[in-house]
């Protein structure tokens, strides 16, 4: 259980990434509402596995529920996920999305038109307080225990609103990861974009 504030987290996206994050947040004692593209009823099994701190809803309900909203969808789903919420104004939105898409020959980078990926996502969320984070680990690694070899896996964060970033950092730290602030979206974000010097997917980036 977390020692600090119990938070409500709305997670839009119920794939491997959303499930991994939901597991960490609920185990830390936070309340999670998940939303997937196929409707709340399709999440009954996952919600049951996560326990009493988890529930399911529509994307709009998850956004309204959360002190923090996580946009945990695949790159090609970002537009439809963003459009499923009537207003993003003032919401803290954690964005763990990388510009990757699965193809028969494996993962490939999507064309962002030369723009930083998080800038592309933020443009779909007018008025949101966007924080980038949790994007440097593959989902299967992210689901594992964040304590490794006596250290904690680092979650790099970038964002322009200090209060929003502080709240996300508290959520991250409560789960056993170690939040590290890299600065603004423009300054810190490119450091851990996929292909950046600290970008993923990687297995271990540890604070000892």
Mean pLDDT of 160-167: 98
Write out pLDDT tens, residues 143-156. Answer: 999 998 889 999 99
Mean pLDDT of 26-39: 94
Residue in this structure with the two tokens 């423009």, named with its chain if needed: 186
Map out the domains of the chain as residue ranges. 8-207
The answer to whether residue 1 scores a pLDDT higher than 60 is no
Question: What Cα–Cα distance (Å) separates residue 23 from each residue in 39, 51, 189?
Answer: 19, 9, 25
Contact between residue 174 and residue 54 where contact means Cβ atoms under 8 Å apart = no
Nearest one of 7, 1, 8, 5 to 29, comparing CA atoms? 1
What pLDDT sits at residue 70?
98
Contact between residue 128 and residue 164 where contact means Cβ atoms under 8 Å apart = no
Q: Give kind and range of the element (H or E) at residue 101.
A: strand 100-103
Contact between residue 94 and residue 71 where contact means Cβ atoms under 8 Å apart = yes
Mean pLDDT lowest for which of 4-13, 81-90, 162-171? 4-13
Mean pLDDT of 27-49: 93
Mean pLDDT lowest for which of 87-96, 105-114, 133-142? 105-114
Question: What Cα–Cα distance (Å) separates residue 108 from each residue in 101, 104, 194?
Answer: 6, 10, 11
CATH topology (fold) of 8-207: Rossmann fold (3.40.50)
For residues 184 and 158, give the distance between their C-alpha atoms in angstroms, rounded to a whole number: 5
Mean pLDDT of 38-67: 94
């Amino acid at each position: 259980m977390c020692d600090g504030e119990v938070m409500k987290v709305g997670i839009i996206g119920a794939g491997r990434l959303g499930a991994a994050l939901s597991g960490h947040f609920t185990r830390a004692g936070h309340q999670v509402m998940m939303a997937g593209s196929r409707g709340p009823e399709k999440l009954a099994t996952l919600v049951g596995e996560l326990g009493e701190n988890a529930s399911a809803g529509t994307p709009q309900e998850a956004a309204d529920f959360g002190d923090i909203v996580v946009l945990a969808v695949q790159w090609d789903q970002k537009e439809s996920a963003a459009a499923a919420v009537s207003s993003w104004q003032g919401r803290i939105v954690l964005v763990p999305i990388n510009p990757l898409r699965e193809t028969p020959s494996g993962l490939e980078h999507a064309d962002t038109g030369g723009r930083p990926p998080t800038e592309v996502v933020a443009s779909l969320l007018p008025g949101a307080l966007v924080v980038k984070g949790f994007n440097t680990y593959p989902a299967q690694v992210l689901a594992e225990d964040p304590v490794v070899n006596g250290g904690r896996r680092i979650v790099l964060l970038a964002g322009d609103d200090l209060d929003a970033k502080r709240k996300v950092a508290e959520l991250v730290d409560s789960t056993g990861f170690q939040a590290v602030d890299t600065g603004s979206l423009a300054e810190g974000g490119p450091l851990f974009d996929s292909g950046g010097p600290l970008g993923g997917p990687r297995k271990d980036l540890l604070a000892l």
